[in-house]
Homo-oligomer: A and B are copies of this chain.
Amino acid sequence: MSLLVTGSIGIDTVETPFGKRQDVIGGSAIYFAYAASFFAPVRLVGAVGDDCPKALLNVFENRPVNTAGLEIRKGSKTFRWHGSYLKDMNEAVTVEVDLNVLAERAPKIPAEFLDSRYVFLANTHPALQQETLGHLKSVKLVVADTMNLWIQTERQELEKLLSKIHGLVLNDGEARLLTGQKNLILAARETLKMGPKFVVIKKGEHGCLLVSERDTFVLPAFPTEKVVDPTGAGDSFAGGMMGYLATQGNLTSATLKRALAFGTVVASFTISDFSLAGLTAATRDQIDDRWEKFKSTMSF
């Protein structure tokens, strides 16, 4: 089924204990789209400036990612992020960030994308997330991400957004900030009261938690000693999860669990190398193999 993602596309510089990569492709929509494309065709909506090297945008060649919604905006500059994991592999320190094109108007959604059924609103201003959503008339499942900045400065818009979506994906610190609850299950329950049918809390190396009225489901991260660059892990997780959900057409407990496990496994490929290299080196067969292994180690 049709899966649309809108979010950031950026040029990243990343430092980890394993080295430094300059001017590599990044951004939430990029990681999400690549991860989801292992499962379902993806429609990408996002904007870059005319300074963005074409080579960076070729990552979706031979992938089922429709880039008709990729706007190369004349006279604008591409979003840039410079992050460091030298202190803590579980949390990036932002060395520098230039919003550039992300601070301008939202990218236009192509007419051919307006019938999208599955939608992922990657982290951006909640008013823009609502605006995007307002154009889509056939949605079946809308999941959004958010961040500390909007929780602190755009609470009202964020609450409006929460009343319009089915699922919210956020990290543990954000969930605590949003609700004032330290216990993550209580934080998730509080969040449900704001509108979403389910909440997924990402805990980085500690895995994830899904809470709905019906389910409470926890998963550890896929155990791996190869953590080279955690950038994009959360968006890859969301991509794997939504990509799988888009192929299922239901939200039963079993489907949600399997989707979380696929998200977990896809993220484990992302963090195994810098930028998109972990994902571009992966195949669907490898993902399925690792998923089966994960499933078997989780059963006792």
Q: A219, B220: Cβ atoms under 8 Å?
A: yes
Give the residues in chain B near A300, CB-CB below 8 Å. Answer: 254, 257-258, 260-261, 295, 298
Question: Residue-by-residue, is A218-238 near B (CB-CB < 8 Å gives 1, otherwise 0)?
Answer: 111101110100000000000
A189 within 8 A of B: yes
Closest to A222 in B: B218
Secondary structure of the A side of the interface? mixed
Complex partner residue of A218 from B223, B225, B295, CB under 8 angstroms: B223
Given contacts A220-B218, A220-B220, contact A299 B297 (CB under 8 A): no
Beyond the given A220-B220, A298-B298, please list 16 additional residue pairs across the A-B interface where CB-CB is below 8 A. Answer: A89-B183, A183-B225, A184-B205, A206-B206, A209-B223, A217-B223, A217-B297, A218-B223, A218-B297, A257-B300, A258-B300, A260-B300, A295-B299, A295-B300, A298-B300, A299-B299
Pairs A–B under 8 Å by Cβ, sample size 28: A89-B183, A183-B225, A183-B227, A185-B225, A186-B225, A206-B206, A206-B207, A207-B207, A207-B220, A209-B223, A216-B297, A217-B297, A218-B220, A218-B221, A218-B223, A218-B297, A219-B220, A220-B220, A254-B300, A257-B300, A260-B300, A261-B300, A295-B299, A295-B300, A298-B298, A298-B299, A298-B300, A299-B299
Q: Which residues of A contact B (CB under 8 A)?
A: 89, 182-186, 189, 203, 205-207, 209, 216-221, 223-225, 227, 254, 257-258, 260-261, 295, 297-300
